[in-house]
Amino acid sequence: MKTVITYGTFDLLHWGHIELLKRARALGDYLIVALSTDEFNRIKHKEAFHSYEHRKLILEAIRYVDKVIPEENWEQKVNDVEKYHVDIFVMGSDWEGEFDFLKGYCEVIYLSRTEGISTTQIKDDLK
């Protein structure tokens, strides 16, 4: 069994998120999403529209997602990979190279983002 993990805020869920989760899940048999907590988002100077608990509830309802865990800090990734026996770490290609330090622990794959949609775009359009 291959375990895949990805990280993110997953706020204002849209079809680009679903495509990313679908593609990540297709790389293995079990997909873990490490979801940024509200506290961690504040540290990153990000503000989510939905609370952590609501974003978690939404992600857990998606058929491609097998488990949702909290992302509480930047440093937890190595521990998560070891704890959950992760084979593949997946992030969007806009993070290319940022997580290469994990290559000693698992395979690292950067997936291209879905063109034509982003949470930032949605927030800007709503203003």
Residues forming the active site? 44, 46
DSSP letters spanning 18-46: HHHHHHHHHTSSEEEEEEEPHHHHHHTT-
- Say whether 121 sits in a helix, a strand or coil: helix
**Strand arrangement of the beta sheet that strand 107-111 belongs to:** 67-71, 30-36, 3-8, 88-92, 107-111
Alpha helices (runs of H) in 1-127, residue ranges in sequence order: 15-26, 38-43, 52-60, 77-83, 119-126
DSSP code, position 99: T
